Structure 1
Amino acid sequence: MGSTASEDSATASAAGAHQYSASESSSVPASRRTSTSSRRDSFSLRPTFMQKFRPQVATKFMQQIIQSHLQSKSYRAEEAQKLSKTIAEEIKSKLIELDLGRYKYVVNVVLGENHGGGARMDARCHWDQESDGSAQAFFTNDSLWCAAVAFAVFYY
Structure 2
Amino acid sequence: MAEQPLPGTALLAQVLAADNTEAPPLRTIRRGSQPPARGPEDGKPPSLLSRRNSILSRRSSFGMVPGSRRPSWMLHKRVSFTGLPIFQPILKTRLENTYRIGPDKGCKFDAERVQRVLEGTLACALGTAAYSPQGSAPLAQSLTELLQNQAKEVVPPRYKLVCHVVLGQQGQQSLVVASRGLWDPETDSFASATFSNTSLFAVATVYGVYFE
How many Å apart are 1:114 and its aligned residue?
A: 0.8
1:42-88 deviation line (CA, Å, top 9, x unaligned): 53211012321101111001111111111101111111111111111
Q: Secondary structure at the match of 1:58?
A: helix
Compute the TM-score of the two structures, normalised by the length of structure 1: 0.70
Specify which of 108, 124, 129 is matched with residue 164 of structure 2.
108
Distance 2:186 2:124 in 1: 32
Task: Report whether the alignment pairs 1:64 with 2:87.
Answer: no
Query: Which is higher, the Rg of structure 1 or of structure 2?
Result: 2
Which residue pairs with 1:134 in the alignment?
Answer: 190
Distance 1:73 1:49, change over 3 A: same
User: Structure 2 stretches of 5 or more lacking a match?
Assistant: 1-94
> Aligned residue pairs: how many?
119
The structure with higher relative contact order (CA 8 Å, sep 6+) is: 1
Structure 1: 5+ residue stretches without partners: 1-22, 25-40
| Identical pairs, percent | 25
- Runs of 4+ aligned residues of structure 1 deviating over 3 Å after TM superposition are none
Alignment match, 2:103:
47
What is the RMSD computed on CA atoms of the aligned residues? 1.9
**Counterpart residue number, 1:91:** 147
Give me the TM-score of the superposition, normalised by structure 2: 0.53
SS of the aligned residue for 1:78 comes to coil
Q: Secondary structure at the match of 1:56?
A: helix
Structure 1 residue 96: Cα displacement:
2.2
Structure whose residues are more often strand by fraction = 1
**Structure with greater helix share of residues:** 1
